[in-house]
């Protein structure tokens, strides 16, 4: 009789432990090995993904990403959103064993619609992350709080939260690698084979200095060019294609307008991003000495 009662008690304890383990696996946001739960709805939803431990970034950083899935007709924005968008904002301060997180942005597209000119993404996008642990011997619990905007016929501010244990086991390595390949590579002015920003110069005579940029790219490639100021409060126009480029080059131009109050274009370092479907580069230059 005593053995039977003991056996019943043992079975009950085991059953309770199994039930609690199952609940913990279901309820823990960090339970998935390579991806967190989605946070969002049919317009847009967000999750974290992780690369395998063998796929570290320079300096020993772990590779991860913020994946944004957009509903049909919706777009979201690049780090510089143009004159009618809102760039995303990230917070990682709730993370554990994290020293620093670098957010990378794949090459965007420019949009011109009734709301104005904007820069961003209309398809699903992965923003790669390089996550530097405080202690490389311990796992990382990455938590992100994301504020971003999405637009279709109307614009909607969105918030999302996600958390994920790093590293993963490799299922997302290919997706992260493809997204990182679209991040513009920093090159010198004039450098590059398939894509190159050859010259950047200024023209005077108008209300604002006019910046002229010549880009080399394959003849059949669609080229987009974007310009950013030295700080986020510079609201520069999207450079437009213009005629007059030498053979084999594409010429873009924009007025150096949209500076914050009190700022001077003289000596300002600007960042130029050129992108095709096959390549993306960025160059820093000071057009007005």
Distance CA 229, CA 176 (A): 28
Rg (CA), the chain: 24
Question: Does pLDDT of 282 surpass 90?
Answer: yes
* Sequence ranges of the domains in the chain: 39-183, 186-285
Output the CA angle 136-140-143, nearest 5 degrees.
145
Q: How confident is the model at residue 15 (pLDDT cuts 50, 70, 90)?
A: very low
> Which residue has better confidence, 184 or 59?
184
CATH tag, 186-285: 2.60.40
Does position 88 have pLDDT exceeding 60, yes or no?
yes
Note the CATH number of domain 39-183: 2.60.40.1250
DSSP 58-77: GGGPEEEEEEEEE-TT-BEE
Would strands 39-40 and 89-91 be described as parallel, antiparallel, or unpaired? unpaired
* 8 A C-beta contact, residue 13 and residue 21: no
* Alpha carbons 289 and 284: distance in angstroms, whole number: 13
Residues 159-209 have pLDDT tens digits of: 999 999 999 989 999 999 999 999 999 999 999 888 999 999 998 777 788
Determine which helix (DSSP H) or strand (DSSP E) holds 13, and give its type and residue range: helix 2-27
Nearest to 44 by CA among 120, 153, 101, 122: 122
Whether 50 shows a pLDDT value over 80: the answer reads yes
Q: Which residue(s) pair with 212 in the sheet?
A: 201, 253
């Amino acid at each position: 009789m005593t053995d039977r009662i003991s056996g019943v008690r043992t079975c009950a304890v085991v059953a309770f432990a199994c039930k609690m383990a199952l609940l913990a696996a279901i309820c823990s946001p960090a339970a998935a090995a390579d991806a967190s739960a989605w946070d969002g709805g049919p317009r847009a939803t967000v999750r974290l993904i992780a690369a395998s431990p063998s796929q570290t970034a320079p300096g020993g950083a772990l590779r991860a990403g913020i994946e944004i899935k957009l509903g049909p007709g919706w777009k979201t924005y690049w780090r510089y959103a143009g004159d009618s968008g809102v760039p995303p904002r990230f917070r990682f301060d709730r993370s554990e064993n994290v020293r620093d997180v670098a957010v990378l942005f794949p090459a965007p597209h420019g949009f011109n619609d009734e709301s104005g000119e904007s820069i961003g993404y209309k398809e699903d996008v992965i923003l790669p992350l390089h996550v530097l642990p405080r202690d490389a011997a311990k796992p990382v619990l990455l938590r992100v709080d994301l504020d971003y905007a999405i637009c279709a016929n109307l614009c909607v501010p969105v918030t999302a939260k996600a958390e994920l244990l790093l590293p993963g086991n490799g299922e997302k390595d290919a997706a992260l690698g493809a997204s990182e390949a679209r991040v513009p590579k920093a090159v010198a002015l004039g450098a590059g084979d398939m894509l190159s920003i050859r010259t950047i110069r200024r023209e005077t005579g108008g209300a604002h200095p006019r910046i002229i940029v010549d880009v080399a790219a394959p003849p059949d490639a669609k080229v987009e060019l974007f310009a950013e100021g030295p700080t986020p409060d510079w609201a520069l126009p999207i450079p437009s294609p213009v005629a007059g480029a030498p053979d084999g080059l594409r010429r873009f131009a924009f007025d150096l307008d949209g500076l914050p109050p009190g700022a001077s274009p003289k000596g300002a370092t600007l960042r130029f991003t050129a992108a095709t479907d096959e390549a993306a580069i960025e160059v820093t230059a000071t057009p007005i000495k």
